[in-house]
Amino acid sequence: MTCAANISAQTKQRQAPAKKPDDKGTLFFDLTNHNFGKINESDGKVKHVFKYRNIGQFPVTILSVDPGCGCTAAEFKKTPIAQGEQGGITIEFDPQNRLGGMDRTIVVRTDGKPEFTYLSISGEVINPRSEYLALFPSVQGNVRFSDYNINFPSILDSRTDSTVVTILNNSSKNLHITSIKGPYHIRGVAKTPVLIPGQSADIMLYYYGEMVNDYGSRLDEVFIQTSDDTLPQKILNVRANIIQDFSGMTEKEKKNPPVAFTSTNEVDFGEVYLGEVVSRDFMITNKGKSDLRIRKAKASCGCTVGSYTKDVIKKGKTGIVTIKFNAKDLRGNISKDVLIFVNDPSRPVIQVKVKARVVIPGVDTR
């Protein structure tokens, strides 16, 4: 009896201790960060396994793995991990359309210790075509552009200017350019109307300054219709600064030009009530020997509008530009510009500074 009792006691001592409510397993990761280095986008998805082992005395379960981004996915064991058991969490990253540096944090939650573990992956997504694609930084649908904001810094009102826009078919299908439409003074011509995947081609843009009948800066849109099933219609924003061409003047005209004289280059409305519309006439006198013409009056914003004398201003006579100021949605000290374009070769643009102090009666004090 004594021997049996001793054996029973020894067996009882070798049994694992009973688990208490606060006893938890401990999941330990060999490494918590991984750098993929350079990831070739064309090679597809890349994977890394974060290895772990349960170094606690009790089982532990991975409750969730949050990759934090749709480009990253995780695979992991969802059943309890026994004491001493080893395993791993597989993290998969999709580099498609993720060119450049990459840094992601994955949150692992368990019912053990610690409750949260933070894993991280990093790297740089590259593409053999990256340098080539950098030549086409502007994107609309499956078409890349050298630039879709086109600028003509100075176009004479008697000349035609042109520029080239290069496009790239960045899709897996042939791209058909079916039409290029813009205002009457801009014409677009596609050198290659059908582009195979990966092919680039030039679009010529011709800007007819003699047809636009305008001066100063302006913005137009040119629409390119394509077979792109993502975004068929592309838009080019065409900015131009149109200036007067005086090169065709005869020697007689050069000796007897019109001369635009203004006694001031400023219109100060002083104090204006919020919502009030006020106006003032700005005088331009012709002190030259030829007829003076006001080509255009253009405000820098919608709050100032210039109407002007459209008839010829004879020698010694005065023309008028009526400047209106609308104080709607404005308050405080306001300063705007009105540009007046005239046919004076020595002063083709007259810049008028328009000032006002917009106040609310009974609220704003001097």
Residue with tokens 């305008």: 214
Among 283, 285, 310, 308, which Cα is nearest to 298's?
A: 308
pLDDT band with cut points at 50, 70 and 90 for residue 18: low
Among 87, 86, 18, 24, which Cα is nearest to 57's?
A: 24
pLDDT of 194 above 90: yes
The structure tokens listed for 106 are 């994955």
> Cβ–Cβ contacts within 10 Å for residue 175, how many?
23
Q: Which amino acid is at 115?
A: E
pLDDT band with cut points at 50, 70 and 90 for residue 128: confident
pLDDT of res. 7: 42
pLDDT of res. 11: 44
The structure tokens listed for 318 are 């005065």
pLDDT of 103 above 50: yes
pLDDT of res. 17: 53
Model confidence over 32-47: pLDDT tens digits?
Answer: 999 999 998 888 899 9
Cα separation values, 152 from 95, 174, 186, 248, 347, Å: 38, 31, 12, 22, 22
Q: Domain 22-126, what fold?
A: Immunoglobulin-like (2.60.40)
Task: For residues 208 and 220, give the distance between their C-alpha atoms in angstroms, rounded to a whole number.
Answer: 13
Judged by DSSP in three states, 91 sits in strand
pLDDT of res. 304: 84
pLDDT of 153 above 60: yes
Sign of the alpha-carbon dihedral angle for 302, 221, 202, 167: positive
* Highest mean pLDDT out of 275-284, 326-335, 354-363: 275-284
pLDDT of 148 above 50: yes
Q: Which CATH architecture has domain 251-359?
A: Sandwich (2.60)
CA angle 118, 123, 128 (to 5 degrees): 155
Judged by DSSP in three states, 261 sits in strand
Query: Which helix (H) or strand (E) covers residue 134, if one does?
Result: none
Note if the bond before 114 is cis, omega within 30 degrees.
yes
Residue extent(s) of CATH 2.60.40.10 domains in the chain = 22-126, 131-243, 251-359
For the chain, what is the mean pLDDT?
90
pLDDT of 249 above 50: yes
pLDDT of res. 4: 46
Task: For residues 130 and 95, give the distance between their C-alpha atoms in angstroms, rounded to a whole number.
Answer: 13
Half-sphere exposure of 170 (CA within 13 A, CB side): 23
Among the ranges given (19-33, 207-221, 254-268, 272-286), the one the predictor scored with the smallest mean pLDDT: 19-33
Stated pTM of the model: 0.62
Residue with tokens 């590259």: 126
Cβ-proximal residues to 252 (8 Å cutoff; 6+ apart), any chain: none
> Cβ–Cβ contacts within 10 Å for residue 360, how many?
10
Q: 186 burial class (0-12, 13-18, 19+ CB within 10 angstroms)?
A: buried
Q: Which CATH architecture has domain 131-243?
A: Sandwich (2.60)
272 near 186, Cβ under 8 Å? no
DSSP annotation of 20 reads P
> Cβ–Cβ contacts within 10 Å for residue 172, how many?
8
pLDDT band with cut points at 50, 70 and 90 for residue 21: low
pLDDT band with cut points at 50, 70 and 90 for residue 300: confident
The structure tokens listed for 54 are 């349960």
